[in-house]
Amino acid sequence: MLQTAFNGLVTGIIIALPSLAITLLFGVLKFPNFAVGAMMTVAAYMVYAVNVQLGWPLLPATAAVAVAFGLLCIAIDHVTFRPLRDRGGITLMVASLGLGFVLENVARFAYGNAARSFAIELARPFRFFDIRMNREQMTAMVVATLAMGLMYVLLTRMPVGRAMRAVADNPSLALVRGIDSASIIRWTWFITGVLLAVGGVLIGMDRALEPPMGTSYVIAVFSAAILGGLGSPLGAFVGALLIGLVSELATLVIPPNYRIGIPLCVIALVLIFRPQGIFGQMYIRR
């Protein structure tokens, strides 16, 4: 029971990163990016290439790829989403679906369907009271918490973060105040890319690297963001922890194969009873 709860917490903190990424992106660009899963997959494989094939240690490999992937996200936005920017949310959403197909299959084309793993030495799990925690879980907790803390500082203390929140809140007012929305969009994509790269690596460490690895998290990630309130960074974090806990604890009752049903039910319930989520605000879009 306690062990399951701990595992759930780890899962939750891992999906907090992509949840934060989509919620930031939704705040600024007003569309749900369905390519998050495939983006994490591609980033994880990029880290795999640097880590295993070039022989870098995992930490510098992740850092280098995170920056590179952030830049890649800006480039992707430039060719796919920017021309569609004023076509409305549905078009952007369908385009992100197409982008997801492309990215996931680029990874499949390059590395095949077989599961792979990073070059990390195996270590004996720690025991803390009755909870068994392995090295990967500890790393995931530390890295994700650190990333969340940095994001908090960025969003509340740094000019870029404040400008991002301003654009998310009221784009025309932000424009009047002299905020350059094009550069804010680039920053948002860069941060999204970094978060997704780190998230992808953590998922790859927790499970294994295979082409559908990221996509299988998409529903959990979205349900976390919706539960917290789409567009609210704090909500994404809290929502992710809750989703992780609840879906892991639910496996005590329901068959683990149907774990994905829990986030789905959460989405349905939230949409019916509290569409704005825990921390979100009702807004009228038009």
54/153 Cα distance (integer angstroms):
33
CB of 182 to other proteins, least distance (A): 18
Contact present, 168 and 231 (Cβ < 8 Å): yes
Nearest to 194 by CA among 238, 149, 151: 151
In the region spanning residues 256 to 275, those forming contacts with other proteins, defined by CB under 8 A, are 257-258, 260-261, 263-264, 267-268, 271-272, 275
Q: Give yes or no for residue 246 binding other proteins (CB under 8 A).
A: no
Q: Please select the residue that binds other proteins; options are 9, 49, 68, 101, rule is CB under 8 A.
A: 101
Residue 234 burial by CB count (10 A; 0-12/13-18/19+): exposed, middle or buried?
A: middle
Q: How many residues make contact with other proteins (CB under 8 A)?
A: 46
- Would you say 105 or 281 has its CB closer to other proteins? 105
In the region spanning residues 26 to 85, those forming contacts with other proteins, defined by CB under 8 A, are 26, 31-32, 34, 80, 83-84
Q: Please select the residue that binds other proteins; options are 59, 102, 120, 153, rule is CB under 8 A.
A: 102
DSSP-based three-state secondary structure for 29? helix
> Residue 153, Cβ neighbours under 10 Å: how many?
11
Contact present, 145 and 13 (Cβ < 8 Å): yes
Q: Give yes or no for residue 278 binding other proteins (CB under 8 A).
A: no
- Would you say 83 or 149 has its CB closer to other proteins? 83
CB of 6 to other proteins, least distance (A): 25
